[in-house]
Each structure stands twice: as structure tokens, then as C-alpha cells.
Amino acid sequence: MGSPNATVLQQFILRPIMLIVIVLSLVYPATAIAAVKNVIVLIMDGCGDEQLTLARWYKGSPLALDAIRVGAVKTYNADSVIPDSASAGTAYAAGVRTNSGVVSLSPKTTTIPPAPAHTLKTPRQPCATVLEGARLLGKSTGVVVTCRISHATPATYMAHTPSRKMDEDITEQAVYQNIDVVMGGGKKYFRPQSAGGNRQDQEDLISVLQTHGYRVIQNRTELHKLDKGKVFGLFASNHLEAEIDRLECAPEQPSLAEMTRKAIQLLSANPAGFFLLVEGSQIDWACHAHDPAHLIGDLLMFDRAVQAALDFAQKDGQTLLLALPDHNTGGMSIGNQCSDHYYTRLQPEALIAPLKKMQLSAPTLWRRVGKDKTPEKIKDTVIRYWGIQLTEKDAQEILKKAEQYGKNAHNAFGEVICPKYTDIGWTTHGHTGGDIPLFACGPHRPVGLLDAPDIGRLTAEAMDLDLNLLSARLFVEARQAFPAQAVRLDHTDPYNPVVRISYHDRQASLPVNKNLLYWGEEVLPLEGVVVYLPETETTYLPVQAIQAIKGESKPLPPITK
């Protein structure tokens, strides 16, 4: 039996308190956090904690990221403990763990457990992205990168292809996705080969954009003049310059922070809110190349872009901001075998001193070597632009490794110089598989250790968006909606395939990678693009197209819970 004092405590104190709690819960029921108005996702491609620590030492003060660290993310994909950017981006964009090289499609195979169940059971089925969902919610959407816009990470938010290498298809889908603001490089994939571009289908996508009411700008002066409207900023034929090279090699190109601020300015004019992806694309390339100069420049500029986004988000109060790498690259360490005997005495000044002398990225350094590939020219170029006096043996080793690396000849600089003349270590020219840091602020901010697909799912949930419902609305296999014999793919022009559907003695035409339905005399813009997957010979259409062909006037399926 309990003591008399315990009985009195329960009767006269605890029970009244419990009663008050029950009454209050009935009068003021708990409510879920309201959906956010805006989402900004900032990805520092190929980064990890050591790179961030190095950037902080170099800067000499805290990073903007430091104040919003909340956890970490596991990065493995469906078939490897080490992901590539396409599979990592798909996890963030569509909430699905997929195979290496795949752009926002469900996995063909899954070999790495645990693999969270997903309602998309069909291999290689398009998976709708948070950007597509935000657009259907009436929000403005944007993508800002320092690579070409068809590169792996931005592709995963805008397109659906079995390979990240399908730049022409990815670019075309991006053009027909009705995205409000797109900034980066890759102009050559917008122009036909007949006009000096790379498009084999001979389409001029810049003309298409202009016809659809976009402004197409090509330099930072035009960027700063923008104050409203839809825009594609194509600032380079391929990728933008490394930040450390930009002012000397391409001063007309805007910085990542400038593009981020302008994108937020344009997108935030929508009362319904916006979704924005920002990527510091070349942090990854710097780490692939073991290039401290490229790394520091691009990572610190990424941090300035984070600060621009933070300034808006903290003032706005209705914005979820996520900042994180997609994976780590290079296996960078502060400390290497050279520092084995003095690491307990290594001072910040000594760590940073050789890096402060580096004035160009390794790729630009290699271009400055020019055609005179001699040890003497290597030594002269390195002392001039990196401030390091090489030996004859060092220069010969750089030339030997450069020949081995072929198109990535510049990798030889970091591989030879870093172990001997800096305290920076590297383990690989590829990616690594460790957990990566997570930074966030605002409503629905996550905390703790997350799985990579959780990023896509929580982004969707923050906007009250159901990715499974969205996929079901945007991607229906044509032969499941119509008799198989009524659907065929017209390859008359192999670079411009068209889906033909016969229905009640009429024929509908839907060009692949576009959001257009040709139905009799009508041309109906669709809310999603038509996707064709050669491997499975399947075509996917939005429900809107199916209803239009069948003459159905019922409401489109919901995409919110």
C-alpha cells in the first residue's frame, strides 16, 4: 500500500493538475506546424567537415553555416556505399534512393540494405520532384548553379532520365518545366549544331524560351538590371569559371552569391511562395583534383550564398532553409604524412600560408602552362601563380602524372604539391562514403542523423506535398491508360521522338521531353513533361494529358495529404 502522504498528494494536487491538462487539451487542441511558404535548398557538392574547417581557418572567422548546424546525413545509394551526384541528388529531390548515374527515376536494382519501401515498385519509373510539386502548388521555382544547368545535381530536380549524361534531354525537359528562374552555364546545349551548339535535334531552345516569355541573359550586368519576370541566365557555354579565376578570366560572370540574391528577389514576389535550389557545384571538382585554391574560393563563395539566403529566411520567418553536401569527395584531411612529426605544433598561420599564395585553380594553372610542357615551364608557372618553388624532380613528376590523367591533367598539381608543400592530405580522386553535415533553420527544421531520401521527403512534407500522389499525377504509363496497340513511339526523327496515341478515330501527339499535347487543332500545355525510357520502352504522361484525350472533365487528383 502507498503511504497516506502519497494518497493526499495524488488526490489534492496531481488529480487537479491532470484535469486542467485534459481540459486545456480539449479547448486548445495540438495543431501540426503549418506548411512553409518558401523552401531554399543549398547543396555544396562534394564537401565534408574537413573542407569546412579549412575554409573557416582560411577565412579567420566563423562561417555563415556554423550557426545553423543541426545534424548529419547518410549518403549511400541503392547499389553502392559511395554515391554519385545523380543518385544523391535524386534522394534530395525526389525522396528516393536510386542507382548511380540515374536522374530522378526509381532504382532498377537495390543491393544495399536497408532500402526504405517506396510505393513506386516499377524499376526505372519517373519519381516526381519537390520542384515539380512546388510549381503545382502555385509556388515560383528556381535553380541556381555554377555548373551547366544539365549537370547531375540540378538535373535531378528538373528532369527524369536513365543517365546523367543525357544533357540534351535534361536541358529540353528543364526548358519545358515552366521553371521561373534558372541560372548557370550550359548554353551550348540550348543551341543547335547548325548554330554552333551541341543539340543534335537541331532545336533552338533559346528561341523557345523567348517565345514563352523568358528573358535570356548572359552576363552580370544584365542580371543586376532584372527586377521581375521569368529568366534563364546562361553565363557560359559549358560551366562557369572557378570563383578564384572568375574576376580575371570571366569578370562578366556573376558570383554564386549574386545569383542567389537575385533569384530570391525575383521568386519572393509570388504571394504563394517559392522553392529554390542553389548548388556550389565546383567544390566537388576542386576536391576531385586535390586543388586547395579552387576549393577555398568556391566554398567561401557558397558560404556567402548561404548568408544571402539566411538573411532572407530569418527576416521572412516562413522559410525552411536546408544546406548540406550531397556526398564527400577526395578524402581531404587537415594533416598529412608530411605533418606527422609536427602536427601537435601546427599553427593556423602555417596551415594557411601556402594556400594564401595560390592565385588560380589547377585547371587554369594547367592552361597557363600552355603547349610548352617542359619541367622549366611547370616550375615557372607554379612559382608565379602558386608561390611554390618546385624541384626539377617535382616538375618531372607533374608532367608524368599529367600525361596519365589525360583530360584531367591538372590533377597532377595537387597530387604532387599537396603532400610535400602543404599540410593538406587526400586519399582519392573520387568520392567517399562517410556521413555529411546538415545545416538548417526555419519551420520544419530537421535535427539529428537523417537518411539521404529523408531530405526529399521532409522538404515535401514542409510544403504539405505528397510525393507519391504527385508521381501518380505526373507520370502514368501510356499503355496502362490506353490499349497497348493504340500507343506507339514515332522515331521518324530519331532525335525528336513523338508519342502517338490513337483514340476514337483521332490521334494525339506528345513530343518526348516536352509538356505539349497536340490534339486535333489544339495545342494543350501540360503541367508536366512527357518522359520516354528506352531501356523499358515505356512512356509516361501526366494525368492531365490522359483526361484531355479521353474528354474527361473531372478534377485532377490531389497532391497534398
Cell of 219: 552576363
Mind listing the pLDDT tens digit for each residue in 440-472?
999 999 999 999 999 999 999 999 999 999 999
Distance CA 527, CA 529 (A): 7
Question: Which helix H or strand E contains 201, and what residues bound it?
Answer: none
Binding-site residues for Zn(2+): 45, 284, 288, 326-327, 431
Sort 114 into a burial class: Cβ within 10 Å, 0-12 / 13-18 / 19+.
exposed
Closest CA to 330 of 46, 76, 82, 45: 46
Mind listing the pLDDT tens digit for each residue in 464-516?
999 999 999 999 999 999 999 999 999 999 999 999 999 998 999 999 999 99
Query: Which residues touch 303 (CB under 8 Å, ≥6 apart)?
Result: 55, 59, 63, 64, 65
Q: For residue 18, is pLDDT > 70?
A: no
Distance CA 437, CA 74 (A): 9
Bridge partners (DSSP) of residue 518 are 509, 523
Confidence (pLDDT) at 25: 43
Mind listing the pLDDT tens digit for each residue in 315-340?
999 999 999 999 999 999 999 999 99
Mean local confidence (pLDDT), 241-253: 98
Q: Rounded mean pLDDT of the chain?
A: 93
Q: How many CB atoms lie within 10 A of CB 367?
A: 15
Confidence (pLDDT) at 15: 58
- Fold classification of 475-550 is Copper Amine Oxidase; Chain A, domain 1 (3.30.457)
Distances (CA, A) of 124 to 79, 117, 221: 14, 15, 42
Mind listing the pLDDT tens digit for each residue in 338-377?
999 999 999 999 999 999 999 999 999 999 999 999 999 9
Q: How many helices (H) and strands (E) does the chain have?
A: 22, 22
Q: For residue 8, is pLDDT > 80?
A: no
pLDDT classification of 29: cutoffs 50, 70, 90: very low
Catalytic residues: 85
Class of the 38-179+257-268+280-290+304-333+431-471 domain?
Answer: alpha beta
Mind listing the pLDDT tens digit for each residue in 385-434?
999 999 999 999 999 999 999 999 999 999 999 999 999 999 999 999 99
Query: Which residues touch 187 (CB under 8 Å, ≥6 apart)?
Result: 197, 206, 218, 234, 236, 237
Q: For residue 200, is pLDDT > 50?
A: yes
pLDDT classification of 37: cutoffs 50, 70, 90: very high
Mind listing the pLDDT tens digit for each residue in 267-292?
999 999 999 999 999 999 999 999 99
Show me where the domains of the chain are located.
Answer: 38-179+257-268+280-290+304-333+431-471, 343-424, 475-550
Distance CA 494, CA 513 (A): 13
Mind listing the pLDDT tens digit for each residue in 160-185?
999 999 999 999 999 999 999 999 99
**Tell me, what DSSP letter sits at residue 188?**
G
pTM here is 0.93
Binding-site residues for Mg(2+): 45, 151, 153, 279
- Asked if 332 and 54 count as a contact pair (C-beta separation under 8 A), the reply is yes
DSSP three-state, residue 34: coil
Mean local confidence (pLDDT), 543-561: 96
Return the residue matching grid coordinates 557560359. 236
Mind listing the pLDDT tens digit for each residue in 54-87?
999 999 999 999 999 999 999 999 999 999 999 9
In sequence order, what DSSP letters do the residues of 458-511 get, joined into one string?
Answer: HHHHHTT--HHHHHHHH-EEHHHHS-GGGEEEE-SSTTS-EEEEEETTEEEEEE
